[in-house]
């Protein structure tokens, strides 16, 4: 397991790009045949990827720092499949996840195994938080998610937000998670940006060519920094940081939040003129 210690709101201001990357980004998580996990200090979010090869399932391991007999003893997990169709087995029950389908895994689930049944692997992205109670494991297909259409072509930010793990869809503990897809020709996400001191957030950008980049904006509103991110890079946003991006082409991203509450719309909006 890797550990990500994010810099504080004073230190980040004097960091180089390489240092910012080191302190906030999670790169190279998706590796064929591997399960990789990073324990972050943003609300104890655990971020990971599992890319199982055919006939070689990967199981979700526990770790000394989870202080538990099994991973989900006191944790919930959100999983979304970013690769080809795959399968997740939770306590012996199989869930087939088509591309972009989610699985919410409840606290108390003892064994979690990831499978690819085809030659091209599934690519499971997962985010986990501490959970205070057991609920139910739920498979969320795209049509079950809350759908919010935002932005416009004129604003270069036409996008659809799929809220897959959120109140009303899945009874989770603190995790709120979904995917946002930008229309062709639109490049901006979360414009204008916002903060939410009550929750921290992790973005994972994907679904764009290897030689394109999404310029992610972070930092306190009056001291923003940007980082060009390659596909399948995750970036942690502490409570004090904006999290917004402009791509060199359209793209999608998975967002996941944890913290005080689960209300998606209570963000503190900024205007672009507030940024420095």
Ligand X SMILES: O=C[C@H](O)[C@@H](O)CC(=O)C(=O)O
Residues in contact with ligand X by CB under 6 A are: 150, 159, 161, 180, 189-190, 201, 243, 255, 267
Partner from Zn ion, ligand X, none contacting 128, C-beta within 5 to 8 A by type: none
Query: For residue 115, which of 72, 151, 85 has the smallest C-alpha distance?
Result: 85
Minimum separation from the CB atom of position 237 to ligand X (A): 8
Cβ distance 168 to 146 under 8 Å? yes
**DSSP letter string, 193-234:** -EE-TTEEEEEEEESS-TT--EEEEES-TTS-EEEEE-TTEE
If the CB atoms of residues 150 and 275 are measured against ligand X, the closer one turns out to be: 150
Partner from Zn ion, ligand X, none contacting 75, C-beta within 5 to 8 A by type: none
Minimum separation from the CB atom of position 54 to ligand X (A): 33
CB-based contacts of 174, cutoff 8 Å, min separation 6: 43, 76, 129, 130, 131, 258, 259, 262
Partner from ligand X, Zn ion, none contacting 107, C-beta within 5 to 8 A by type: none
Cβ distance 174 to 204 under 8 Å? no
43 binds Zn ion (CB under 5 A): no
If the CB atoms of residues 28 and 185 are measured against ligand X, the closer one turns out to be: 185
Residue nearest to ligand X (CB): 180
If the CB atoms of residues 30 and 217 are measured against ligand X, the closer one turns out to be: 217
Partner from Zn ion, ligand X, none contacting 159, C-beta within 5 to 8 A by type: ligand X
DSSP-assigned beta bridge partners for residue 77 = 105, 128
Partner from Zn ion, ligand X, none contacting 230, C-beta within 5 to 8 A by type: none
DSSP-assigned beta bridge partners for residue 202 = 236, 256
Cβ neighbours, 10 Å, residue 248? 14
Q: Of residues 185-224, which lie at the interface with Zn ion (CB under 5 A)?
A: 201
If the CB atoms of residues 106 and 190 are measured against Zn ion, the closer one turns out to be: 190
Furthest C-alpha separation in the chain: 54
Positions that interact with Zn ion (CB under 5 A): 201
């Amino acid at each position: 397991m890797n550990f990500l210690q994010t810099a504080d709101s004073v230190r980040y201001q004097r960091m180089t790009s390489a240092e910012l990357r080191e302190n906030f980004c999670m790169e190279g998580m998706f590796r064929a045949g591997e399960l990789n996990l990073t324990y972050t200090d943003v609300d104890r979010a655990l971020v990971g990827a599992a890319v199982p090869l055919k006939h070689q399932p990967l199981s979700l391991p526990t770790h000394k720092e989870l202080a538990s007999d099994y991973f989900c003893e006191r944790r919930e997990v959100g999983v979304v499949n970013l690769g080809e169709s795959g399968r997740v087995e939770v306590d012996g029950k199989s869930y087939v996840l088509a591309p972009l389908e989610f699985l919410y895994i409840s606290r108390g689930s003892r064994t979690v195994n990831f499978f690819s049944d085809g030659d091209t692997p599934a690519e499971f992205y997962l985010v986990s938080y501490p959970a205070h109670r057991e609920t139910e494991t739920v498979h969320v297909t795209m049509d079950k998610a809350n759908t919010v259409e935002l932005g416009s072509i004129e604003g270069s930010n036409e996008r659809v937000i799929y809220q897959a793990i959120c109140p009303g869809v899945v009874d989770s503990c603190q995790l709120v998670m979904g995917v946002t897809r930008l229309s062709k020709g639109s490049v901006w996400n979360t414009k204008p940006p916002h903060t939410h001191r009550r929750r921290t957030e992790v973005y994972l950008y994907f679904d764009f060519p290897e030689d394109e980049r999404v310029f992610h904006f972070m930092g306190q509103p009056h001291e923003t920094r940007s980082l060009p991110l390659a596909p399948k890079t995750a970036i942690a946003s502490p409570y004090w940081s904006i999290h917004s991006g402009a791509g060199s082409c359209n793209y999608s991203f998975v967002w996941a939040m944890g913290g005080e509450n689960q209300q998606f719309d209570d963000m503190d909006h900024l205007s672009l003129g507030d940024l420095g």
